[in-house]
Chain A
Amino acid sequence: MKRHAPALTALAAGLVFGLGLAVSGMTHPDKVQNFLDFTGGAAWDPSLAFVMAGAIAAYVGLSRLIRRRKAPLFAARFALPTRTDLDPKLIGGSALFGVGWGLGGICPGPAIVDLGSGMASALVFVVAMAAGMVLQRLTAREGAQQSPAVSLHHTPSIEVAHETQT
């Protein structure tokens, strides 16, 4: 049992996270679009702002307490993003993400929850998302080979890339 504790807590976290998404309505594509429709007048649904507020309130308080520990329970150290620079990739990538989010009303977490609910469009979305991630990795690698100056800052491998920020 103890050997499986890390995986079991991760499973529990995913389950609670997913339930939170479902309870709050983040798994409803039309609700997400109604939230993003700031100019929609009466159709605007601000309730997802309360989802973010609830999540941030809970996380801010607890993460402060947790960060007082020397290390997490099942790892040698905390592995949190440390970068503070604002680069075009961050802004361009986030801008693209927003376009896709608005287009389908789905972001990665809700897509995986909806997949579990058997929603066909969520399955298509998740497969397409994987393809988009692979495509990004391939094009980033190509760009890095073309300009060595950039490659100094470019994360050289998949193994390292996911450590920078999730």
Chain B
Amino acid sequence: MNTSTVLLSLAGGTLIGLAAALVLWTHGRVAGISGIFSGLLGKVAVSPWAAVASPPADLAFRVAFLLGLVAAGLGVTLLLPELLPTSSPSLGIAAIAGVIVGFGTRMGNGCTSGHGICGVSRLAPRSIVATMTFMATGAITVFVMRHMSGGAS
């Protein structure tokens, strides 16, 4: 880690905080991505036709925000390829990790964005406990993978 890494981290973090504040200012809600995503799943599952035919404000917000995230990924690929990840987990690991993340974030009502940024910023006790918990189990998981199982990751 060097100075430019720290500055990029701070700059990226500031953008994240600004975006979350924009969500609060315009829509009055928490920028929690697992919740925005699962709410969309729920609405489409409950009534796919109504969801498409007459998108209510809530659905429009969810779709637009998630499309913005996808557009950011696309934009980085086209315009800033040096920011692209240089590694990715195997498809098998991605599948297992995805199921656990999906299950866990709904059971615990949030992820790194909703609890880790928005909730911690509000000093919400639930979010502080959630953030300490997922940081701890994340660290334990990486420790076990890297230092106890022969470095498979």
Return the contact of A94 from the options B11, B16, B87, B115 (Cβ within 8 A).
Answer: B115
Interface of B is mostly: helix
Q: Closest A-chain residue to B39, C-beta based?
A: A162
Instruction: Check A119/B88 contact, CB under 8 A, given A98-B137, A98-B138, A158-B46.
Output: yes
Q: Which residues of A contact B (CB under 8 A)?
A: 6-30, 33, 36-40, 45-60, 62-63, 66-67, 69, 71-75, 77-81, 83-86, 89-109, 111-122, 124-137, 140, 158-159, 161-162, 164-166
- Cβ-defined contact, A22 with B73, below 8 A: yes
- Cβ-defined contact, B117 with A103, below 8 A: no
Instruction: Check A121/B113 contact, CB under 8 A, given A11-B68, A50-B13.
Output: no
Q: Which residues of B contact A (CB under 8 A)?
A: 1, 5-6, 8-39, 41-43, 45-46, 57, 60-77, 80, 83-91, 93-122, 124-126, 129-131, 133-143, 145-147, 153
Can you give 8 A-B contacts (C-beta < 8 A)? A28-B85, A57-B17, A66-B21, A72-B29, A74-B57, A104-B89, A124-B98, A159-B42
Q: CA separation between A19 and B121, bound complex, in Å?
A: 21
Q: CA separation between A134 and B41, bound complex, in Å?
A: 8
Q: CA separation between A33 and B153, bound complex, in Å?
A: 9
Could you say which residues of chain B place their CB within 8 Å of the CB of A22?
A: 12, 72-73, 76, 80, 83
Instruction: Check A133/B91 contact, CB under 8 A, given A55-B14, A90-B129, A109-B112.
Output: no
- Cβ-defined contact, B1 with A24, below 8 A: no
- Cβ-defined contact, A17 with B19, below 8 A: yes
Apart from the given pairs A63-B21, A72-B29, A97-B105, 6 other A-B contacts in the complex at a CB distance below 8 Å: A26-B12, A38-B139, A58-B17, A116-B72, A133-B37, A133-B38
